[in-house]
Each structure stands twice: as C-alpha cells, then as structure tokens.
Amino acid sequence: MSSHPSRRGLLGAAAALALAGPRAAFGFGAPTRVDVAELQLARGTLSRPNAWSRLLLETVQTTSVECTPRAVQLEPDDPELFAHPFAVLVGDGEFPSLGAAAREQLVRYLSYGGFLFVDDTSGVPDSPFDKSVRALIQDCFPTRPLTVLSAEHSVYRSFFLLREPVGRVALHRRLEGISLGSMHPLIYSQDDVSGALDRREDGLDLHACVPGGEIQRREAVKLAINLIMYALTSNYKHDQAHVRQLMQEGRLE
Amino acid sequence: MMDWLTAGGAFGGGKLLFTGEPLVIGLVAVVAVVVFGLAVSGSWRSRLPELVSLLVGLAFVGLVAARPVWLAEGERVEPGRFVVLVDASRSMAVAEPGGQTRFESALALAKRLQATETFHFGGELRSGSPSVADLDGTDIAGALQAVSRRYAGEQLAGIAVISDGIDRGGLIRADAAGARSLDESVLPALGGPLTVYAVGEARAVPDVSITDVVSGSFAFLRAPLTIEVRVERSGLGMESVPVTLTRNGQPAGSGVARFDAEGHGSAVFTLVPDAPGRFVYEASVPVAAEDAVPTNNRMSRVVRVVRDRVRVLQVCGSPSLDQKFLRLFLKEDPGVDLVSFFILRTQSDLRSGFSPDELSLIEFPYRRLFDDDLSTFDLVILQNFDYEPFFERDSTRLLGNIAQYVRDGGALAMVGGDRSFDLGKYGGTPLEEVLPVKLGVQGESVDEAAFAPMLTEAGARHPVTRLLADVAENAALWQRLPPMHGTNLTLGAAPGAGVLLRHPSRKEGGAGLPVLAVRQVGSGRTMALTVDSSWRWSFSEAALGGGNEAYLRFWKSAMRWLVGDPDEQAVVLELPRENVEPDEPLRLTARVRDAGFAAVAGANVVGTVIGPDGEVPLSSPTGDDGEATFLLPTAQRGAHRVKITATSADGAALGSAETVYAVITRDPELDRIGADAATLQALAEATGGRFVAAGTWQEPLRDATAGRTIQDRRESPLWSAPLLALLAASALALSWWLRRQSGQR
C-alpha cells in the first residue's frame, strides 16, 4: 500500500548515520541524560532499580533518547529530586501521608516540568496502595482529580502505537492522570508495569506476566518506553503534522 | 472755521455735560476767588471795567476746568445688505464641457449680483472675493451659519449662494437604507431671503475616481488582510473598471470593480502578508483619455503588518530534558505557533527488534521544511540536531537555504549538545557563515565539566540577557543560576557577534569562550547557546521555590530579539502615524544602539525621503540618548519611503532601517465632481428661497423693506475748543491792560 511509509521513508535519513561513524560523545555527561528517581516513603513503597535500568537501556537501544541506566532513591522532600525530571512511585501497600514540605515540593516538581509515574504493583483492585495514592493526589491537587486517559492520549503514541496499557498484570488496562496545562505530569497505572520490567542481576525476568506471557511483557516494555518519551515530548504526537501524516498512512484512525 | 472754534459742537439738538473732576473745579474756583479778592482790595469803583474783565476771564478759566462736552444723539436708516457666498473649494476648479470652470462661472455670477458683502467658503467662511478655487472641503451649512452669526439681528436684503452643490459638510444625511436627504436641522435662521445659484452640471464631467482604500491601519502577519478599493464613476458609461493593487511598488493583485446604478463600485483584495513591517499599498484604475481628474485615479495607504504569533520551527536531534523544557515553554506561550520535529529514532536504534509498523513515527519532512516552508517561519531552532544523516547529498543546498533565510530576515538559534556545532559537523558549511561562533575545533570539541557562565559587559545590557531591569539585580540573578553541565567548544565569536555569556575558564584568543553569542546577519539574526542544560535554569530555580521566571524570561527575550521585534533592532525608526494629512507635522525618531544595545551618541544618521516629487536628504547626529529626530516632508500627497543608515563617529556601519508613510492621496474634494443641483434645490426649498439652475439667470430674491438703522452719537469736547481759550485769554488780557492804565502794577 502506498499509504504506508517505506522503511527508508521512516528511517532513511538514519541510514546515512551509519556511514557517518560514531559520534564523539553522547550528551554532556550524566546530569544531562535521562534517569529515574524512585520516591521512597517510610512504608508501602518498593524500589526496583533493575526494572528502571532495563527500561532506560531499552530506551537507549530503541530510541534516540540518551539515558543513564540508573535509578536513584529519594525521599519526596529531597531537593535533589529536581535533578531528575523523571520520577516513579512504586508500591503495593498503604503509605503515610506526606508532610507539608514534601507535598509542597511534589506539587512544585510537577508544576514546573517534572514527571511522576505511579505504579501499583499489588495486582488487585482497591489495594491499600491505590487508596494511599488517591489520598495523596487529593491532598496535592484537590481541584485536579485523577481521570482516565482517553485512547487518543499522546502517551499511547509517543513512540509506539499502543492499543491498551498493560503491565505484569492486565486487570485494569487503563491509565489515569492529572492534567496541568497541556500535559499530564502524573500518570498512574494499577497493572504493575515495573513488575514486567523487573529482573534479577543475572538478567532473567523476576515475574511472569499474566495472562499474556511474553507478548504482554513486550507490550509493557513498549508502554514504559512511551512513558519516557511522553515525559520528554508531552503532546508532541498530537501536533498537526504528526496526526495528519499518521492518518494518511492508515496507522491512526 | 466755526467747527474748529467750537470743537465741532454746540450745534443742533443735544445736551451739555460737564466732565471735569470736582476736585480740579474746586481748586480752580478757590484760586479764582483769591485772585479776584486780591484785585479788589483798595479803591474798586474807579477800576470797575478792569475787575469785570478779570471776573469774566476767571469765569472762562473755571469753565475750562469743568470740561464741558456737547453730546448730540440721533439715528439714520440705510438700505439692507446683500451678501454673496462663493464656493471656492477645489471641485469648483473643474472645467465644464464648454471650457469654462465652475469657478469662473461663479465669479461672473457674483459680479452680476452686485453684492454689498462678498465671502467665499470651503470648509470655513472667509471674507472677500476669492481669486482661486483651492479650499479643502465644502460646508454650505457651515457658511450659512457663519453669515447668520455675523449679521445676527440685522435684516438683510438677501443672501446668494453660488456653488456646484457638492457638499462635504453636514448638509446631506443618509438614512440606514442609504437614501440621501437634506438635514434641515443644520440650517440657521437667515436674516434675508436666500437665492441659490448652481454652477456645473451633474454627470457632465467624465471621471473615474478611487474614493477610498479601506483597510485597518495594521494587519497580522500570515493572516488574511482585506483591502477594499472603492471607486466612483461620473460622466462615463463604463460598467466596470479594472483595479490594480501594488505593495511597495510590486504587483499585489488585480480585480474588477463593477458600478451600480448610482455609479459606485468596489474591488476587494484578500492578501496574506508574509513579512512584518510597514507597507505601501497603492490602488489604481486606468486613466481614460476623457478623464477630467486623473489625479484621483490612484490612492495609497500604509498598512503596518505585525506578528500576532511567532511561528517557530523546533528541530531536535534527540528528545532530551533540554528539548522538553524548551518545548514546554514554547507550547505554553500563546504568542507562539510551534512546529516541532524531534528525531525519535536513528539507524543505530534498529537492532531493538520492533517493527516500524508498531511505531508512531513519521518521516522527517526535511526537504519540505528547509526547501519550501522555511520562509514561513519566524524562528528556526536547531537543538542538538545533526543535519548530515538526514540532508545527505542535499546538505550544502539545504544548509545554504537556511543561511539565506537568515540573511533575508529569518532567525536561527543553535542550541548545544552532542549533535551541535562541531559535533554536528557544521564547521565549513554555509550555515557556519551565519553563526555567531567560529567552528573548526580540532580534536576535543566538548568540555563536560560543570561551570557557571559569566555575564559579559554586553550581556549586562543586551535584551536577551537583561532578565531584570536593575543592572545589579540582573547580575546577581545570573550569578545564582545553577551551573551548566558541559559545553560545546568553539573557536570564539564570529566577526560582528556579541558575546553575552562566557565560559569562566575555557579560553580562546585570551577571552573566555562564548557560551551565548548573538549576531546580526544581513536582515536576520542568529544566536548560539553552546550548552544543553539551560533547562536547569528552570527546574533548579523551582527547587529553590523561585519558580521558573529566569528561564522563561531568557527564552522569551531571546525569541523576541531573534525575530527582530521592532523595538530590538540596532537602528529603530519610530513614526507616530503611518498615514497623515497634507502638511500635518510628522516627526521621525531614529534610535541607534550598538551590538551590546548601548545607546550610541554622536553617530551619523543620514538618509533620504523618497517621495512623489523626488528625494529629500536627512542628516543628523545622535544625542547622548542615541536618538536623532527629523521633521519629515508632508506637503506632497502620496507614499514616501524613508531610508536611514547609521555609522559611528569612526565610520563603522551600525545598521540601517527603512520605513514608509503616506500623505493621504485621497482628496475628498475630487472624490465626486459631478455637480449636485438637487442638493442646492433642496436647500432653496427648505429655506423658502429661490433656486437658479446652472446656465440660467434669475434675479435674486431681495427684501426691499430691509434696512438697517444706524445709531449716531456725537460728543464735542467744548473745553478744548479754541474759542473758549480765546475768550478767557482776551478777558484776562483786557483786565491786565486796564489795570496798567490805571497805574497799578
């Protein structure tokens, strides 16, 4: 079909890159590359540095984004949080309310360009973690409730074209978020996306993905990469040039 | 003789008044009594004639002191005045088919009317008979009001108005449906009967005229601009006329105006301005051989084109934190129309095993962007973008396009990263020629160490880095901003570039390497920011509770300067208006600043005003405030172009600028030149007067009973009459002579 782009059309320009040889450097050192900050609370949260390292490596291999494949653990009121514009809050249990300083910093972080991915790993509806997350968001953004992201949301097309979001489990198959300006700086999944990414030191996956197995894991990886890309490009994929082109090529309805 | 002796008084009816000061009269009386008393002392019977003469003399002196005045009052009646008002507006200069102008006909009529008083009028009333028809406007009602005020309370024998009836005042009003009628409310009570003489014949004069070019005084860049050209026809049978529109002398459109039954028509042009600035739009219609007034066949109007939104192309070689924050800023700014293209995947990412059909990627339309659409952008940002993998064999041409786009007035910003400057292989390309930094670094071309950029002297006052108005506060703000993580290395600033931020330790040629540099290239501007962590000015400031104002202001200022905000050129020309009336004072201010945006005192500002009748030179030095002012010529109707060049005292070029203005070419007096007898007839009917058609003669209405009573009042100062002085002197002299005859001293 002529409506589909040729492989050279999509990546033709990149073909010349191979001839150009390796670049002299990748970013100006770690501080300018993308990494992950894991928010750690007194209880209820998890740290999965291997999951994020895997995501960042997958991102480097799949996209042109330069990443430092590491995760740093920070408390919400740590000013160092502002050195890491991509943060995650992962957990499976109830966590305590944030103090005023931490809450204020979290609001400022999200208001001025930070991005937070919240991942409920419990794999059950109405988990204690879910209740704590919703209470936290109510405290921080009382006028901006969590809403389900529509199928047209940029996060579903920021790099991969995704039909539905899944993680280690596929119970909810949805993402929620709060909007500030033109983007959603906080996105929430209840399907344990980080569980699909997490692995042991020897590289083997830690958790089985149910019910879809490795195909589901692949979709979870794609979703996680899209989250990184969305955090960087926000609603870029809703720019007219992209929408028009994707529709012309029949890849978007 | 008798009048002289009596100071012209003391005859006819009247009365005597004494106007002397009582004090003076009293003093004179006392002196007279004393003198007489002294004269009487001793034997007075033998000196009776002497004393009588003395008494008479003193009485006359007292009479002079009393200052007698003879007051005569009366009245007389003179015939009423006949007043003639001659229309001397420019439409009266139109020649009729017979060869005689309306004005000549009017003067002949005025002479025949033998007026007591003659006035002429255009927009206002003037005394006397006119010598030429050259007045602006025609206000018949205003002229009658002025006459009414002038002769208030006086009964006039008659008033005659001689006109072609083309009233530009308030005599005619149009209702919502466009129907025209006489507005009687503007007519004053006249002191005598009115006779209206028409000159000129309606539709007898062949003419096509542009009556107006309707547009706003400003338009938005790349937004439709509608210009309506209104035309009128008289004395010609054509159904339509071609209308041509030019912009700064270049064709901008053509159309056809079709006339309605009343001879009105219009042509509408919809244009899309592609550049900001002031432009002269001139509409014209062909001049037919029989056209009586060729000068009303063209009309100019200056339209100022402004940006409503800055159209920005952001091309980024890799999504990054730096790109993220810049996009957020650009996307949130309602004044920005942003087109972004980010390279999300390269050849080296293919091994990941995902099929292209799974991807939401589109082809990077670099040819369309840099071949066809480039001129539609106000600003191009190449952010960590390496052209080579994409442009391939078109590299030289496409980079040349960008360079030419800059020279032609476009704006370019290159932002650092591992794909920028020498790492992006821009050295030696056409694009390097327009960058503010020199490329060609051999070996290491990046320094990854963190550093705090230093604000330069030029940066302290340049609008891009002047984030706060106060110099000290601005310097303190830059000092406290978080450090940058690494920088591209360059060979220093390009010739003519201004360095606003420098590296504190990396040197080139003895000076710190430019971190932020700007440059004017041709009509465009470029900026080089050699870091990829300016986002930290936003996010790290927010961490301190300070918000992201510094980052927003920096990029906002940079964008405004790059796109050549009129207030941020090296030479700025300021005009209070772009369309002025003839002879209206119009002052041009030229502001001159150097690359660091400091006012340049003593700069030579020279230029020319190119108008319809040739060139007028301009020359003036700038003052301490860097400003030079000029009074522009506005005598000639039409478009005028001002070209200004500024050089420093040592002859170095500082910049140039151009602007345009128009002395409106519309002459309302020549919009319509067909005589309007109907208006004059309606005027006569409304006032109960007489209408005399053009080419015919009737005597004017005259009120034979009209007259004016002249009040006479005549004062004759008797005290200064020579006869009184003569009598006093004679009596005193006789008394003195008799006294000497009687042997007394």
The domain that holds B170 is classified in CATH as: 3.40.50.410
- Residue B735, classed as helix, strand or coil, is helix
CA distances from B705 to B78, B81, B193 (A): 11, 11, 12
CA of A171 to nearest chain B CA: how many angstroms apart?
Answer: 23
Residue B110: φ, ψ to 5°: -60, -40
Number of domains in chain B: 5
Does residue B498 share a domain with residue B579?
no
Q: A232, B540: Cβ pair inside 8 Å?
A: no
CA distances from B275 to B247, B439, B480 (A): 12, 31, 39
Question: Once rounded to an integer, what is the mean pLDDT over residues B356-375?
Answer: 86
> Is B671 within a domain?
no
Residues with Cβ within 8 Å of residue A84, at least 6 apart in sequence: A35, A36, A37, A72, A74
- Residue B323, classed as helix, strand or coil, is helix
Burial of B302: CB neighbours in 10 Å, binned 0-12, 13-18, 19+: buried
CA distances from B481 to B135, B506, B518 (A): 67, 19, 21
- Establish how many alpha carbons lie within 13 A of residue B511's alpha carbon, considering only the half-sphere containing its beta carbon: 15
Whether A25 and chain B come into contact, CB under 8 Å, resolves to yes
Does residue B478 share a domain with residue B577?
no
Find the residue in A nearest to B314 (Cα): A236
CA distances from B442 to A41, A55, A102, B63, B490 (A): 50, 36, 48, 121, 10
Burial of B624: CB neighbours in 10 Å, binned 0-12, 13-18, 19+: exposed
CA distance A152 to A175: 12
Q: B360, A24: Cβ pair inside 8 Å?
A: no
Identify the pLDDT of residue A8.
33
> Sign (positive/negative) of CA torsion B405, B409, B415, B421?
positive
pLDDT at B22 over 60: yes
Burial of A15: CB neighbours in 10 Å, binned 0-12, 13-18, 19+: middle
pLDDT at B1 over 60: no
For the record, the structure tokens of B236 come out as 């010609």
What are the domain boundaries of chain A?
A: 30-248
Residue B324 has its nearest CB partner, among A14, A113, A182, at A113
Q: B321, A58: Cβ pair inside 8 Å?
A: no
Per-window interface: A 116-155 vs B, CB < 8 A:
none
Residue B388 has its nearest CB partner, among A20, A34, A114, at A20
Q: Which residues pair with B644 in a beta bridge?
A: B607, B657
Does residue B648 share a domain with residue B526?
no
> Is B303 within a domain?
no
CA distance B486 to B499: 18
CA distance A141 to B538: 22
Mean pLDDT of chain B: 87
For the record, the structure tokens of B592 come out as 């001159």
Contact indicator for B81, B159 with CB cutoff of 8 Å: no
Does residue B608 share a domain with residue B574?
yes
Q: What is the CA radius of gyration of chain A?
A: 18
Question: Once rounded to an integer, what is the mean pLDDT over residues B585-593?
Answer: 91
Q: A14, B347: Cβ pair inside 8 Å?
A: yes
What CATH topology corresponds to A30-248? Rossmann fold (3.40.50)
* Helix or strand run (H / E) with residue B409: none
Contact indicator for B326, B555 with CB cutoff of 8 Å: yes
| DSSP type of residue B394 | G
Identify the pLDDT of residue B543.
82
Q: What is the pLDDT of residues B520-533, one digit of tens each?
A: 998 899 999 999 99
CA distance B85 to B113: 11
**Residue B419 with chain A: CB contacts under 8 Å:** 23
- Write down which residue in B530, B562, B594 finishes a domain: B562
Q: SS3 for chain A, per residue? A: CCCCCCHHHHHHHHHHHHHHCCCCCCCCCHHHCEEEEEECCCCCECCCHHHHHHHHHHHHHHCCCCEEEEEEEECCCCHHHHHCCEEEEEECCCCCCCCHHHHHHHHHHHHCCCEEEEEECCCCCCCHHHHHHHHHHHHHCCCCCCEECCCCCHHHCCCECCCCCCCCCCCCCCEEEEEECCEEEEEEECCCHHHHHCECCCCCECCCCCCCHHHHHHHHHHHHHHHHHHHHHHHHHHCHHHHHHHHHCCCCC
CA distance A82 to B329: 17
Structural domain that includes position B234: 207-282+289-297
Contact indicator for B322, A85 with CB cutoff of 8 Å: no
Task: Report how far apart the first and last C-alpha atoms of chain B are (Å, whole number).
Answer: 37
CA distance B355 to A4: 13
Does residue B358 share a domain with residue B231?
no
Does residue B413 share a domain with residue B345?
yes
**Residue B416 with chain A: CB contacts under 8 Å:** 28
CA distance B317 to B345: 9
> Is B305 within a domain?
no
Q: B342, A15: Cβ pair inside 8 Å?
A: no
- CB atoms near residue B375 (< 10 Å): 14
ipTM: 0.85
> Is B669 within a domain?
no
CA distance B397 to B371: 9
Q: Which of A154, A163, A222, A236 to mutate to test the interface with B (most CBs of B within 10 A)?
A: A236
CA of A229 to nearest chain B CA: how many angstroms apart?
Answer: 8
- Residue B724, classed as helix, strand or coil, is helix
Q: What is the pLDDT of residues B631-649, one digit of tens each?
A: 999 988 888 999 999 998 8
Q: A29, B365: Cβ pair inside 8 Å?
A: no
Question: Once rounded to an integer, what is the mean pLDDT over residues B112-140?
Answer: 91
Residues with Cβ within 8 Å of residue B106, at least 6 apart in sequence: B86, B87, B92, B162, B163, B197, B199
Contact indicator for B386, B425 with CB cutoff of 8 Å: yes
> Is B304 within a domain?
no
**Residue A181 with chain B: CB contacts under 8 Å:** 328, 332
Per-window interface: A 76-105 vs B, CB < 8 A:
79, 81-83, 85, 105
Does residue B37 share a domain with residue B116?
no
Residues with Cβ within 8 Å of residue B709, at least 6 apart in sequence: B75, B76, B77
Find the residue in B nearest to A66 (Cα): B320
pLDDT at B430 over 50: yes
Q: A157, B360: Cβ pair inside 8 Å?
A: yes
Residue B401 amino acid letter? N
pLDDT digits (tens), chain A, 253 positions: 333 333 333 333 332 333 333 343 445 666 778 999 999 999 999 999 999 999 999 999 899 998 999 999 999 999 999 999 999 999 999 999 999 999 999 999 999 999 999 999 999 989 999 999 999 999 999 999 999 999 999 999 999 999 999 999 999 999 999 998 878 999 999 999 999 999 998 889 999 999 999 999 999 999 999 999 999 998 887 776 666 666 666 655 5
CA distance B128 to B105: 17
Q: Which of A32, A60, A215 to mutate to test the interface with B (most CBs of B within 10 A)?
A: A32
CA distances from B246 to A156, B227, B279 (A): 51, 11, 10
Does residue B510 share a domain with residue B375?
yes
- Write down which residue in B265, B297, B329 finishes a domain: B297
Torsion of CA A155, A159, A164, A166, to 10 degrees: -90
Beta strands in B349-452 (DSSP E): 379-383, 411-415, 446-451
Whether A245 and chain B come into contact, CB under 8 Å, resolves to yes
Whether A158 and chain B come into contact, CB under 8 Å, resolves to yes
> Sign (positive/negative) of CA torsion B424, B426, B427, B432?
negative
Does residue B65 share a domain with residue B30?
yes
Residue B288 amino acid letter? A
Please spell the DSSP secondary structure of B668-721, one letter per residue: GGGT--S--HHHHHHHHHHTT-EEE-TT---PPP--TT-EEEEEEEEEEEGGG-
Identify the pLDDT of residue A17.
31
**Residue B351 with chain A: CB contacts under 8 Å:** 61
Find the residue in A nearest to B331 (Cα): A182
Q: What is the pLDDT of residues B513-562, one digit of tens each?
A: 999 999 999 889 999 999 999 998 988 888 887 778 889 889 999 998 99
Q: Which of B324, B387, B391, B426 to mutate to test the interface with A (most CBs of A within 10 A)?
A: B324
Contact indicator for A60, A112 with CB cutoff of 8 Å: no
pLDDT at B596 over 70: no
> Is B678 within a domain?
no
**Residue B341 with chain A: CB contacts under 8 Å:** 241
> Sign (positive/negative) of CA torsion B11, B14, B20, B25?
positive
CA of B515 to nearest chain A CA: how many angstroms apart?
Answer: 14
Find the residue in A nearest to B364 (Cα): A10
Contact indicator for B491, B441 with CB cutoff of 8 Å: yes
Find the residue in B nearest to A242 (Cα): B362
**Residue A28 with chain B: CB contacts under 8 Å:** 416-418, 446, 448, 485-487, 531-533
> Is B681 within a domain?
no
Whether A65 and chain B come into contact, CB under 8 Å, resolves to yes
Does residue B410 share a domain with residue B545?
yes
Identify the pLDDT of residue B251.
93
Please spell the DSSP secondary structure of B246-263, one letter per residue: EETTEEEEEEEEE--TTS
Q: Which of A64, A74, A104 to mutate to test the interface with B (most CBs of B within 10 A)?
A: A64
CA distances from A223 to A162, A174, B64, B367 (A): 7, 11, 125, 32
Q: Among A164-178, B122-136, B700-714, where is mean pLDDT lowest? A: B700-714
Q: B364, A85: Cβ pair inside 8 Å?
A: no
Identify the pLDDT of residue B7.
57
